[in-house]
Amino acid sequence: MTDTSRPVFSVIVPTLNEEDWVETTLGCARSALSDDTELLVVDGGSHDATQERAARHARILRTEPSRGHQLHLGARAAAGEVLVFVHADTRLPPDTGVAILDALVDPAVVGGCCRFGVFPAPSRFDRYRLLEWGVNIRTRVFGSATGDQVIFVRREAYERSGGYPEHPLFEDVVLVRALRRLGRFAFIRPMVRTSRRRWEARGFWRTVVKHWVLRLAFWLGASPHWLAVRYR
């Protein structure tokens, strides 16, 4: 990371009708990384005020609604040396940028992710505490990660990996698998927090079980496009 003409970080946020979330997410990302962080929002055709609100903080790209495609389009347009992929309802803590740069001091590290959390932060005996524990143990044991954990990657490693596939689901799993073939995938200490809205809208245990069933089906070879229909 020696090209001083580039920003260090580019944040890519895919959106679709995220007017209630996008401004806070962008503000948190810039505060957590650096003042010169490049912010890009790749909108999949929002019908609300997402684009107008995002435009106050970020450059807007427009395309069809497919998260893998949106993320890859944003990565190709980004100028930063480190690409940071953030979901629209996910908040980065203030120490994220320092932790990412510390991890990338090791030239063997091609990218990584943060610890997973939800907000509001769960109490000691909250079922969301169990969810956090399960996701973070999965990452430690299997080296996997999902977009809710804020995946970051060196630009050159992203390009060598082939980048995000144009999948509507499990695009993050495919990218992480490709990155791990190139080098070490770091699991850094800062805990990012994502909204509980999916679990609350569809039911906590139903959503957890559905995610695991879909993940198993994907590993067994099911098409991500077919799975995306099942997910919706």
Task: Output the six-digit token pair for 84.
Answer: 């940071």
Q: In this model, does residue 207 exceed pLDDT 70? A: yes
> Across-strand partners of 40?
12, 59
Average pLDDT, the chain: 92
Read off the pTM.
0.91
pLDDT in tens, 17-53: 999 999 999 999 999 999 999 999 999 999 999 999 9
Q: Are 110 and 154 in contact (CB under 8 A)?
A: yes
157's CB contacts (< 8 A; 6+ apart) are: 110, 111, 179, 182, 183
Q: In this model, does residue 223 exceed pLDDT 70? A: yes
The pLDDT, as a whole number, for residue 137 is: 95
What mean pLDDT comes out for the span 158-186? 93
The pLDDT, as a whole number, for residue 99 is: 98
DSSP per residue over 119-148, as a string?
ESPP-TT-HHHHHHHHHHHHHHHH----GG
What mean pLDDT comes out for the span 138-157? 95
The pLDDT, as a whole number, for residue 30 is: 95
The pLDDT, as a whole number, for residue 3 is: 60
Q: In this model, does residue 2 exceed pLDDT 60? A: no
pLDDT in tens, 107-136: 999 999 999 999 988 888 899 999 999 999
In this structure, the strands spanning 82-85 and 9-15 are parallel
